[in-house]
Amino acid sequence: MADLQAQDYIRISATTLTPPSTRRHEDQVAKLIDTSRCIGCKACQAACMEWNDLRQDIGHFEGSYENPMDLSPSVWTLMRFNEWEDEKGKLEWLIRKDGCMHCEDPGCLKACPAPGAIVQYANGIVDFISEHCIGCEYCVKGCPFDIPRISPVDHKSYKCTLCSDRVDVGLEPACVKACPTGAIMFGSKTDMQDWAGERVADLKSRGFENAGLYDPPGVGGTHVMYVLHHADKPSIYSGLPDHPHISFLVDFWKGVVKPLSLVGIAFAAIAGFFHWVIEGPNEVQPEDEVKARELLKAAEKSP
């Protein structure tokens, strides 16, 4: 997504300053993906390709309904299919639309070293501003969901924008528009939570006692949420993380090493400077030269 938008930024990657923050009337948006209503038709995938003008190279059939087999710089959303048997041996076909979760606390943004390459708009959407991306892949390390992909052509990172360009002008994301069963809904986050509550109640009444909403608190909640029939074990939906959170390693790197390092470097430099001011240079004295000459002469005499 280019740097043309009608939304205020509330978070900007690699900045030590607070983004403009006086206006705070914006509704938080969310996309709700109801796995129990998804029929795996891939209309969302096709709509995403159409709206964002993405064309993945034609690959090979891998014996799976999943096609292509993974997200890529030109595959921003992907239907993932998993055949799962419950404890009683009953087969369930679990289909999940994978893509950026638009975390409230985005790990990609936290890890990004390029100012303004990753932003979060006031409505909660996390967007990559390609002009500022340097292709370092730190966002991949920051992401708890393994979403961003680096293009080998332009060395920039790509992922779902939640159709921020459409949302800016009051439209729903392309995938939402294309979904024929209403499995993908879009609106304010509170509305989506309410609607999810109705869906979960309905699923529970039909025997899915573990049905629930996937809005993981480990990343501050997400702006893409799932209704899962088995919310007690998200990982059966093709590896949806059970408890996603920004890796401890990334937190330590960005939260401890980064600030302490500059202090350490500055301390070393200042200590050196003041040592010079207090003690001054260590200079060779004339008597050192005299004694050295004596030493060398003595050595010459004794063969």
Partner 1 sequence: MTRPAGTLVRNTTAARINHWITAGCFILLLLSGLSMFHPMLFFLSNLFGGGQWTRAVHPWIGTVLLVSYLGLIVQFWRDNFWNRDDIAWMKAIDRVLVNQEEGVPEVGRFNAGQKFVFWSMALLVPVLFLTGLVIWEVYFGTYTSIEVQRTAVLIHSAAAIAAIIVWIIHVYAAIWVEGSVRAMTQGYVTPGWAYRHHRKWLRRLAASGSSGPTPGHDR
Q: Which spans of this chain sit near partner 1 (rule: CB under 8 A)?
A: 14-16, 113-115, 132-138, 140-141, 146, 150, 152, 155, 247, 249-250, 252-253, 257-258, 261-262, 264-265, 268-269, 272, 275-276, 279-286, 288-293, 295-296, 298-300
Task: Tell which residue, 5, 160, 132, has the closest CA to residue 72.
Answer: 160
Compare residues 134 and 171 and give the one whose CB is closer to partner 1. 134
Compare residues 148 and 212 and give the one whose CB is closer to partner 1. 148
Cα separation, 150 vs 139, whole angstroms: 10
CB of 257 to partner 1, least distance (A): 5
In angstroms, what CA-CA distances link 92 with 84, 200, 202? 5, 18, 18
Compare residues 51 and 138 and give the one whose CB is closer to partner 1. 138
Residue type, 197: G
Task: Answer positive or negative: Cα dihedral of 282, 283, 285, 290.
Answer: positive
CB of 144 to partner 1, least distance (A): 10
CB of 111 to partner 1, least distance (A): 9
Cα separation, 140 vs 290, whole angstroms: 64
CA 146, 148, 149: angle at the middle one, nearest 5?
110
Residue type, 295: L
CB of 301 to partner 1, least distance (A): 11
Compare residues 141 and 166 and give the one whose CB is closer to partner 1. 141
Compare residues 59 and 197 and give the one whose CB is closer to partner 1. 59
Phi, psi of 11, rounded to the nearest 5 degrees = -135, 140
Compare residues 28 and 130 and give the one whose CB is closer to partner 1. 130
CB of 247 to partner 1, least distance (A): 5
Cα separation, 136 vs 134, whole angstroms: 6
CB of 292 to partner 1, least distance (A): 4
Q: Half-sphere exposure (CA, 13 Å, Cβ side) for 183? A: 22
Pairing of strands 149-150, 157-158: antiparallel
